[in-house]
Amino acid sequence: MSIRQGILDAVRTRLGRIRKANGYRTDIGANVLEWQTAPVPSADLPAISFRDAENEIAEWTMRERDNRVAVVIEAFGRDVPPSTVRQYVEDIYAAIAVDETWGGLALVTEPVSDEIEFRTAEEGVGRATVRILIEYQTAKWEF
Amino acid sequence: MSAFADQLLTDLDVFLNAGEFAVTADLGEGALPRLISVIVDALPDLVEGETAGVRTTRREALCKTADLAGTAVGHTMIIGETEYEIIDLQPDGTGLTTAVLKAVG
């Protein structure tokens, strides 16, 4: 398994820990989605979704490569007030802070940005987005 | 108003008829019902994010504008067993108004 796959597996596991029973403020970890392509029915919320996208090669030598993979994490809630969506952001940051090396696979995790948004239809949908960069090192031609 | 426009307003009752396409909605608050006929549409709606989209519904009630006298955004409309908050009122200028609804509770 590649280092990147190991990191993303750890991200998935960590996000799934975001439950009130584990000391977090919300239960967005009840439904973790990775690279979700089909629309999620609103009845399945709250949910947390993530995807890894661009990997920037920060530096390389003849033997090694420093990678910075961008990961976007989004939490969705149904009929939730702004205070709850802010708690989604808080919980995501708290989960990352547990171990920002993802079990020693990464060097560090960098916060990039966060935002919240609401959409009102028959039911209100609140969305919190957190963007991070995970830095990790591989052999020059490994993933 | 022209004769044609007058006729259109009269004909609205043909469509907004609980025996045809419409259903009965209650605009009343508390014990006194205020019943009007509305045509309800449930339109699929997608809330798109960066990593996923959420499928929800945009529910609208087509009403006669005259029936909504005194009704404003924030008031409630009860259709069947469900109570809705009116989150927008969109008059079309021909005697009809679309009430955009959000389920309460």
Using a CB-CB distance cutoff of 8 angstroms, which residues of chain A are in contact with residue B58?
121-122
Q: How would residue A143 be classed by pLDDT, with cut points 50, 70 and 90?
A: confident
**Tens digit of pLDDT for each residue in A57-92?**
988 999 999 999 999 999 999 888 889 999 999 999
Task: Identify the CA nearest to A134 among candidates A74, A75, A66.
Answer: A66
Residue B30 is predicted with a pLDDT of 65
pLDDT at B105 over 70: no
Q: How would residue B88 be classed by pLDDT, with cut points 50, 70 and 90?
A: very high
Chain A residues near any Cβ of chain B (below 8 Å): 33, 35-36, 39-42, 45, 47, 49-51, 72-74, 76, 119-125, 127, 129
Phi, psi of A92 (to 5 degrees): -65, -45
pLDDT at B93 over 80: yes
Containing structural domain, residue A69: 3-139
Task: In chain A, count H helices and then E strands.
Answer: 2, 6
At A51, which CATH number? 3.30.70.1700
Q: What contacts 24+ positions apart, CB below 8 Å, involve B76-82?
A: B76/B27, B76/B29, B76/B104, B77/B25, B77/B26, B77/B27, B77/B38, B77/B101, B78/B25, B78/B26, B79/B23, B79/B24, B79/B25, B79/B26, B79/B38, B79/B40, B80/B23
When divided into structural domains, chain A yields a total of: 1
**Tens digit of pLDDT for each residue in A92-107?**
999 999 999 999 999 9
| Predicted structure pTM score | 0.82
pLDDT at B1 over 70: no
Residue A53 is predicted with a pLDDT of 87
For CA atoms A99, A100, A104, A105, the dihedral sign is: positive
Tell me the sheet residues that pair with B99.
B61, B89
User: In the block, which residue shows the tokens 């490569």?
Assistant: A65
Contact at CB, B42 and A119, closer than 8 angstroms: no
Q: Any alpha helices (H) in A63-135, and if so which ranges? A: 82-97
**Tens digit of pLDDT for each residue in A6-32?**
999 999 999 999 999 999 999 999 999
Cα atoms in the 13 Å half-sphere on the side-chain side of B91 = 12
